[in-house]
Structure 1
Amino acid sequence: MLKDALKIKVDRRDGKLAMAHFYVAFIALAVGGLAGLLQTLVRSGKFELPAGIGYYQILTVHGVVLGLVLTTFFIMGFQISVVSKTAGTLTNRQRLIGWIGFWVMTTGTVLAAIMILLNEASVLYTFYAPLQAHALYYIGLTLVIVGSWLDGTVIIMKYIEWRKQNPGQASPLITFMALVNTLMWIVATIGVAATVLLQLLPWSLGLVDTVNVAVSRTLFWYFGHPLVYFWLLPAYMAWYVIIPKIIGGKIFSDSLARLSFILFLLFSIPVGIHHQLLEPGIDPAWKFIQVILTFLVVIPSLMTAFSLFATFENYGRSKGAKGLFGWLKKLPWGDARFIVPFIGMLSFIPAGAGGIINASFQMNQVVHNTIWVTGHFHLTAATAVVLTFFGIAYWLIPHLTGRVLTKKMNKLAIIQGVTWTIGMTFMSGAMHAAGLLGAPRRSSYSEYGGSAQAAEWIPYQIAQAVGGSILFIAIILMLYIFVNLAFFAPKGDQEFPIGEPLSNEKPPMVFENWKLWIGITILLILFAYTVPFIDLIQNAPPGSKGYKLW
């Protein structure tokens, strides 16, 4: 029965909804990629922005459009696709809610983008107070979040519907994963919604004179850290469930995959304060507790690494591989659907090592607020995650549009992935090196003039510009591939690869006990944040207490 269900194409109407999300995502890739190129050129000291465009204006465009718009639209389109594929076609009501969510998100994106382009919202990706944006920017961000909640509602409704129709059975693995990521996103975005609606928007409208900056930053990072896992878990979905099918193997363990996702739900949210280790107002003891909670995420990460490479080795052995690493030769290195996400997997090894440094109570002081942190983000989000998203697009876009990935496009996709990797090696590597020399995060460096310290950074700034230029070529290639697969590739049936478990294990139904898992998540959040928030509110400087408790 499961095998028959996995042969079904995604319903054309659900495909249109998913494709609408992908169109916005790839437009965001073009706009954000151009802004990123301009940033690296400015930082090289060899280029000045034309027409009065500000450096921090394009920095905001790059961060918001790629970090929030590209990722959110792609992830929602992908999750709607996999749920429609494995849990069943959306009902008319669910599809309508999805379309409303899409248009609410798109409207919010346009509002926020207009304000940034008018230089009314050059507040960077984190939009920290006391930097203030136009009220329409905050309204736009709110609409993006609300629209994503509506998309998430579709996934929750379909999951509930499937469970009612299949009592006592474990839900399809990738539907389960999409649900976990959706729940994590909804819980996490409560933080950014609170700071925008209760603090920044009233302040921007002139309804209040001040805001509690420390509370604002803490609410942002309550959201900002699980945002990283919101990006990452869809890549994990592909690694766990889709890549095994592409290589011709089996999922190592259904239960292990579910457990790892549950652990990500539990450990990804109550840890945001580790981004604030050098900020005042938060007791060091609570910072240290959140550092410990942060390191617990290593557990599901190592479980994932073990599961993935066990899948690869099992496949290789089944094809007659000998020796310790003989199975590597059996993997489909000529298939872009595999090799590009595989590069993403490998990049997550140094990215994870850098993350351990960022989250460490002591080593964080060496790299805090340096461009090292930017280099880390570009290894995690812009390499591990984005390359996996590209790998997904190579087969999902033609599947949804009734076309096929040709040999020519497959070869170009491999070239695109390798080009991206080369560019990111230059850029992210230079960022890490410059960060160790003290180069500041976010800065154009122009204010440092001809100082001796700034002179040390010049070779790394030029390397960043080289890497950024190569990355922009890779973006152009990706946009060409997307347009081809969406509109011009030959008509046909492209496989939607969903893997099957290696054994006939029945996952424990405790994984489907959402009262338990959401309850534990809430308890962990209350434990990690209650006392720090009380301290931030009670000990706020004079003038920042005037607006209710904020």
Structure 2
Amino acid sequence: MTTIKEKAQDFVRVDRRDGKLALAHIYVAFIALFIGGLCGLLQVLVRSGQFTLPWGIGYYQVLTIHGVLLGLILTTYFILGFQIAAISRTSGTLTDKQRLVGWIGFWVMTAGTVAASIMVLLNEASVLYTFYAPLQAHWIFYVGMALVVVGSWIVAIAQIMKYVEWRKANPGQPSPLLSFMVIVNLAMWIICSLGVAVEVVFQLIPWSLGWVDKVDVLLSRTLFWYFGHPLVYFWLLPAYMVWYVIIPKIIGGKIFSDALARLSFMLFLLFSIPVGFHHQLTEPGIDSFWKFLQVVLTMMVVIPSLLTAFSMFATFELRGRQLGGRGLFGWFKKLPWNDARFTVPFIGMAAFIPAGAGGIINASHQMNALIHNTIWVTGHFHLTLATTVVLTFFGAAYWLIPHLTGRVLTKQMNKLAIIQAIVWAFGMSIMSGAMHVVGLMGAPRRSDFSTYGGAQQATEWIPYQIAQAVGGTILFIGIILVLYIVANLLWFAPKGETEFPVGEVSENAEKTPMWLENWKIWLTICIALILFAYTVPVFEMIQNAPPGSKGYKFW
């Protein structure tokens, strides 16, 4: 096991002022985890048919809280907090101006989060995390969500400012790999979230205020999914940052290839945005050619995913053989399985294998017709975000939080962290597995079990609904465990120095070509793909808007 406690002079610390900004985001993320996780537990208990929500709380109310807090708030806050620390660690301490911009963004986001959450708690916004029209929420909910997006842009600007400063100070040199990855993720986030911002500001807010009577539902869903699928990669790329850059250092190895890592991230930028129609394959009003095109582009993300798998397992094998591993798989046994910083993210990596296979099914026209709008999709969602991404975030928290707080992960907490990951994987296997199976039987997603009470088909679903409740209960135990560990690392762990591990590139790797960091080329290609995939179908939606909505086609 790589030593957790190290001497201060052996590594670079993130500046304490930057650390406070990063920690502020992480605090909100774990508060969202607790509240959102509790609501998730309530959902699976209700669907089991053995539990009724008290005090007049609605099923869709807790479903909305669960989706918004875990799908949008937990992820966005943790990612931005992690990326602030990563930029500070690899490109240098933020200036006072950059840090001020970051704090402004944080408070704008937090004001929006509080406003939107209050409306959901008052049952004025039970519209799920996708907030599809014609479901309508209170205008304060939409304003709150808009502030979350705008605030995230402001935090992103602070990080981009530091990156630009580093590039100007180091002309002709490739930027630090981790900083480069952060900027790719922010570029994707800003480009894709423009879609949901337009939907909320120009369609949903005027509609909820009564300024217009109707909203173009097809256009609003298209704008959402222009954002909604890249959102998955906004979650996933920080996990890839940990895999590519952090894990090699933790296991004592080297980054297999800097150039391959940069290429895979740029390919994700290109192929993750113009693909939203694969979530709309069953919807009329979109020509089949454009659906087919976006399905093809969706499948292209298999390429950077396979590049990542190759790079990671090459790193693992090389390190395992350095440690004396023999035979075909002897290297595998030599990896540091007793180190939570490696083992917890590795479980997340393993979960991405079935998750990726499910994603191919979801994006395939014929197979999608079988599982579309069933709870199969929810099961897939819980393998990708709630297992691959979340477990990697947990693993990162076990060194990031003590690094920022000046504490250490003790042997006891390290062991508990591994137990937590096993509990999480076990609970998720039961819950997500039941969702996949009953989804194939036709059980709908976004639905309270009682909606189908008395139906013969629903009776057949009962064992699987109960299995979901069992798995969900185990997962909530996992949430309690991780919150206990995080609290320990924040306030109670022994004082000490913990490394922010950043891997070095293998001396055998090829030199990184500068064209991989030529933003003019990559952003031009990205925008061209988006315009090609969306211009004609969106124009047709506007031209063929339903009767009565032509007066406000955009809003």
TM-score (norm 1): 0.99
Structure 2 vs 1, CA of residues 469 and 320 (structure 1 numbering), >3 Å: closer, same or farther? same
Q: Which residue of 2 aligns with 1:482?
A: 486
2:199 aligns with one of 190, 195, 199: 195
Is the CA contact 1:6–1:498 (under 8 Å) kept in the aligned structure 2? no
Q: Which residue of 1 aligns with 2:504?
A: 500
Q: Which moved more, 1:512-521 or 1:70-79?
A: 512-521
Describe the superposition over 1:273-314 as per-residue Cα deviations: whole angstroms up to 9, x where unpaired.
100000110001110110000000000000000000000000
How far residue 505 of structure 1 moved from its aligned partner, in angstroms, is 3.6
Q: Which residue of 1 aligns with 2:535?
A: 530
Which residue type is aligned with residue 370 of structure 2?
A: V
1:127 aligns with one of 117, 124, 131: 131
Q: Which residue of 2 aligns with 1:171?
A: 175
Q: Report whether the alignment pairs 1:514 with 2:532.
A: no
Is the CA contact 2:203–2:554 (under 8 Å) kept in the aligned structure 1? no
Q: Give the 3-state SS of the residue equivalent to 2:552 in structure 1.
A: coil
Unaligned residue ranges in structure 2 (runs of 5+): 1-7
Which residue type is aligned with residue 278 of structure 1?
A: T
Q: Give the 3-state SS of the residue equivalent to 2:70 in structure 1.
A: helix
Distance 1:157 1:226 in 2: 23
Which residue type is aligned with residue 462 of structure 1?
A: I
Q: Which residue of 1 aligns with 2:114?
A: 110
Is the CA contact 2:545–2:553 (under 8 Å) kept in the aligned structure 1? no
5 Å-filtered alignment, 1:261-300, equals 261-300=265-304
Is the CA contact 1:5–1:86 (under 8 Å) kept in the aligned structure 2? no
Structure 2 vs 1, CA of residues 479 and 35 (structure 1 numbering), >3 Å: closer, same or farther? same
How far residue 548 of structure 1 moved from its aligned partner, in angstroms, is 4.8
Describe the superposition over 1:335-393 as per-residue Cα deviations: whole angstroms up to 9, x where unpaired.
00000000000000000000000000111000000000000000000000000000000
Q: Which moved more, 1:497-506 or 1:129-138?
A: 497-506
Q: Give the 3-state SS of the residue equivalent to 1:546 in structure 2.
A: helix
Distance 1:56 1:265 in 2: 34
Is the CA contact 2:202–2:554 (under 8 Å) kept in the aligned structure 1? no
Describe the superposition over 1:181-214 as per-residue Cα deviations: whole angstroms up to 9, x where unpaired.
0000000000000000000000001111111000
Distance 1:369 1:152 in 2: 34
Q: Which residue of 2 aligns with 1:101?
A: 105
Q: Which residue of 2 aligns with 1:248?
A: 252
Distance 2:134 2:402 in 1: 46
Q: Give the 3-state SS of the residue equivalent to 2:206 in structure 1.
A: helix
5 Å-filtered alignment, 1:273-352, equals 273-352=277-356
Distance 2:34 2:143 in 1: 24
Distance 1:251 1:543 in 2: 58
Q: Report whether the alignment pairs 1:219 with 2:205.
A: no
Q: Which moved more, 1:505-514 or 1:307-316?
A: 505-514
How far residue 515 of structure 1 moved from its aligned partner, in angstroms, is 1.1
How far residue 540 of structure 1 moved from its aligned partner, in angstroms, is 1.3
Distance 1:510 1:407 in 2: 44
Q: Which residue of 2 aligns with 1:79?
A: 83
How far residue 549 of structure 1 moved from its aligned partner, in angstroms, is 3.8
Q: Which residue of 1 aligns with 2:11?
A: 7
C-alpha RMSD of the superposition: 1.0
Q: Report whether the alignment pairs 1:415 with 2:419.
A: yes
Q: Which residue of 2 aligns with 1:394?
A: 398
Q: Report whether the alignment pairs 1:540 with 2:542.
A: no
Q: Give the 3-state SS of the residue equivalent to 1:48 in structure 2.
A: coil
Which residue type is aligned with residue 78 of structure 1?
A: F
Which residue type is aligned with residue 309 of structure 1?
A: F
Aligned pairs, number: 547
How far residue 115 of structure 1 moved from its aligned partner, in angstroms, is 0.2
Distance 1:272 1:284 in 2: 14
Which residue type is aligned with residue 262 of structure 1?
A: M
Describe the superposition over 1:66-112 as per-residue Cα deviations: whole angstroms up to 9, x where unpaired.
00000000000000000000000000000000000000000000000
Distance 1:44 1:343 in 2: 28
How far residue 6 of structure 1 moved from its aligned partner, in angstroms, is 8.4
Q: Which residue of 2 aligns with 1:144?
A: 148
Distance 1:106 1:463 in 2: 36
Describe the superposition over 1:218-243 as per-residue Cα deviations: whole angstroms up to 9, x where unpaired.
00000000000000000000000000
Distance 2:553 2:386 in 1: 39
Structure 2 vs 1, CA of residues 6 and 18 (structure 1 numbering), >3 Å: closer, same or farther? farther
Which residue type is aligned with residue 299 of structure 2?
A: F
Q: Give the 3-state SS of the residue equivalent to 1:8 in structure 2.
A: coil
How far residue 512 of structure 1 moved from its aligned partner, in angstroms, is 1.4
How far residue 450 of structure 1 moved from its aligned partner, in angstroms, is 1.5
Is the CA contact 1:98–1:154 (under 8 Å) kept in the aligned structure 2? yes
How far residue 506 of structure 1 moved from its aligned partner, in angstroms, is 2.5
How far residue 10 of structure 1 moved from its aligned partner, in angstroms, is 0.2
Unaligned residue ranges in structure 1 (runs of 5+): none
Distance 1:277 1:336 in 2: 41
Which residue type is aligned with residue 88 of structure 1?
A: G
Percent identical across equivalent pairs? 74
TM-score (norm 2): 0.98
Is the CA contact 1:218–1:272 (under 8 Å) kept in the aligned structure 2? yes
Is the CA contact 1:210–1:546 (under 8 Å) kept in the aligned structure 2? no
Q: Which moved more, 1:179-188 or 1:539-548?
A: 539-548
Which residue type is aligned with residue 47 of structure 2?
A: R
Q: Give the 3-state SS of the residue equivalent to 2:549 in structure 1.
A: coil
Distance 1:384 1:23 in 2: 21
How far residue 5 of structure 1 moved from its aligned partner, in angstroms, is 11
Is the CA contact 1:370–1:440 (under 8 Å) kept in the aligned structure 2? yes
Which residue type is aligned with residue 21 of structure 2?
A: L
Q: Which residue of 1 aligns with 2:5?
A: none
Q: Which residue of 1 aligns with 2:477?
A: 473
Q: Which residue of 2 aligns with 1:459?
A: 463
Distance 2:517 2:473 in 1: 46
